Amino acid sequence: AQSVTQPDIHITVSEGASLELRCNYSYGATPYLFWYVQSPGQGLQLLLKYFSGDTLVQGIKGFEAEFKRSQSSFNLRKPSVHWSDAAEYFCAVGGSYIPTFGRGTSLIVHP
């Protein structure tokens, strides 16, 4: 069975600081990995995805993520956070046709 662990429930950063959100997955074969962002009361928007190839993937809004097979991780990074990045972030794995989501990390941005 596939699963995702996001170990940090909340992350607080100052505006302009760098950000890393952690994601660990469990899947028996080559995983398909996603990061989504959710603003309050809204649906989920895809930030980036990894299917194969280059393990460093670029996404929208200046986000990137690195796939590390040896660590079963797919951490999300951003070099400089903006106040508008405050939201809930979800990592998902989709080796079958059905994506499985982590519980999410809430990002709080201080001015």
Partner 1 sequence: DTGVSQDPRHKITKRGQNVTFRCDPISEHNRLYWYRQTLGQGPEFLTYFQNEAQLEKSRLLSDRFSAERPKGSFSTLEIQRTEQGDSAMYLCASSTSVGAVTEAFFGQGTRLTVV
Residues lying near partner 1 in the complex (CB under 8 A) are found at 4, 6, 9, 32, 34, 36, 41-46, 49, 51, 90, 94-104
Structure tokens given for 54: 């280059």
| Smaller CB separation from partner 1, 78 or 105 | 105
> Using CA atoms, how far apart are residues 64 and 49, in angstroms rounded to an integer?
10
Q: Judge contact between 34 and 48, C-beta under 8 A.
A: yes
| Smaller CB separation from partner 1, 80 or 96 | 96
| Smaller CB separation from partner 1, 1 or 14 | 1
For residue 61, what is the DSSP state?
Answer: G
Q: Is 16 helix (H, G, I), strand (E, B) or coil?
A: coil
What's the min distance (Å) between Cβ of 102 and partner 1? 5
Report helix, strand and coil shares of the chain as percent, to nearest 5.
Answer: 10, 50, 40
What's the min distance (Å) between Cβ of 26 and partner 1? 15
What's the min distance (Å) between Cβ of 80 and partner 1? 26
